[in-house]
Amino acid sequence: MAEFKEISPNATAGQKLGNWLENRFPTAFAEYEKHLSGYYAPKNFNFWYFFGSLSLLVLVIQIVTGIFLVMHYKPDANLAFASVEYIMRDVPWGWLVRYMHSTGASAFFIVVYLHMFRGLMYGSYRKPRELVWIFGCAIFLVLMAEAFMGYLLPWGQMSYWGAQVIVNLFSAIPFIGPDLALLIRGDYVVSDATLNRFFSFHVIAVPLVLLGLVVAHLLALHDVGSNNPDGVEIKGPNAPKDAQGHPLDGIPFHPYYTVHDILGVSVFLMVFSAVIFFAPEAGGYFLEFNNFIPADPLKTPPHIAPVWYFTPFYSMLRAITSEFAGVLAIIVLGAGFFGGRRLPGILKPVVWVVAIVAAILLGLLPALANWFHLSLAGLFKAVPVLAGIDAKFWGVVVMGGSVIILFFLPWLDHSPVKSIRYRPSWHKWVYGVFVVVFLVLGYLGVQPPSPVGERVSQAGTLFYFGFFLLMPWWSRLGEFKPVPDRITFAAH
């Protein structure tokens, strides 16, 4: 048993209470010192570093408001929509809690997207923070699942049909697809069984996984230290330190950054409150107008689209047509043959065979037959795999791959420097075009399908994947600026 720490009899009541608690719960105080008052962070954080703490704030808002919503919500297909209306109309302040939760869902993705973009700009995924980035991407993936399942719960028209469309996508997976879709729905159509499954996952299972990943993300971050806009390590073996071993370019997270983050929190809460009180539907982007209509399995809305934060990925899914799959097949074939030329002799034929098989599965032969008006029906009938897999399946693969590829970013970036500050100027244009393309894909995802939109989505999809897959090549090009030995900082 550890010895109790003594305190002066003249100490204040607060100091005596703190001493009493510390003597009885020393682990909590040790963790407080390790992760707050004793955790040294770079002293040159800018406004991009607000979004990590804001993500944590929105998570708390979602959990608290979700608890109050569950008190009155009925996870029953016959009662769910009416229970939401009851919350909005009859429960004291229920409308405020519901709008906080629905607006909070969009706010969560806004701050997470900005948080991830900051990591992209400053190379926060580079060594030694690969695991921090992987945990962050896992959080993003789980957050998407949480949002999708929660979206069904109001049981409105768009909730119902959006879930119907997304779950049906799983049926495109060869062999296991239909059974997997049936397992997810719990029925042959989206029904009461689906609602109960999604409710249990949204309220219990997924939040537990999300909280665990958030804790792992923070612990991994504090083990290796935070990155900074210069990409300079402040805790490395050669970094300057004071007599106590603290980095000279760092400051304690508490009280400096806890007070610093109050500015970001204050601005965020003002904007958040303005949206809740004046535009909670955000013109149909945060809450679609069709979702104020009870779900009707017999009446399909004229245009079904997911919530705005899923639309960039949904746009990529819609971009994959049979014709475009043929184009992708040619790209895969060309990449395999030209890329394989650099490999050792024994690996060349392996890569070429894989490229040929992948191109055939993508539908190269059907696309060529269609383009040149050839009839290959007999060949396809004899060897069905030559007809290629349905383009719908490749759309699902592309949509999933657009998220999964983020996990590999630490090994795709071969730039000799971390931060965008010291990269060639044209790199900023590449990042800027990437953001514009992502926003355009998001916009097209909420629009009805059109020939022009399809072509733009296909071009955007190629750029999105090209940005990452070609990063080992383009990230090394250009003239890089010298990185300073210590971080640059101007007091403000």
Query: Where is the binding site for heme b, in residues?
Result: 101, 115, 202, 217
Say if CB 227 and CB 418 are below 8 A apart.
Answer: yes
For residue 49, count CB atoms less than 10 angstroms from its CB and return exposed for 0-12, middle for 13-18, buried for 19 or more.
buried
Say if CB 154 and CB 199 are below 8 A apart.
Answer: no
Distance CA 483, CA 492 (A): 23
Give every CB contact of residue 446 below 8 A, 6+ residues apart in sequence. Answer: 285, 305, 308, 311
Residues forming a β-bridge with 289: none
Q: Per the structure block, which two tokens stand in for 164? A: 């119907």
Say if CB 54 and CB 270 are below 8 A apart.
Answer: no
Binding-site entries: 101, 115, 202, 217, 222
- AA letter at 34: K
Say if CB 228 and CB 44 are below 8 A apart.
Answer: yes
Q: Per the structure block, which two tokens stand in for 349? A: 């034929």
- Helices 94-122, 80-89: crossing angle, 10 deg rounding: 100
Residue with tokens 């957050």: 143
Q: Per the structure block, which two tokens stand in for 102? A: 């629905």
Distance CA 335, CA 317 (A): 22
- What 3-state class would DSSP assign to 207? helix
Radius of gyration of the chain (CA): 26
Q: Per the structure block, which two tokens stand in for 234? A: 């402040």
Binding-site entries for a ubiquinone: 222
Q: Per the structure block, which two tokens stand in for 336? A: 């395999």
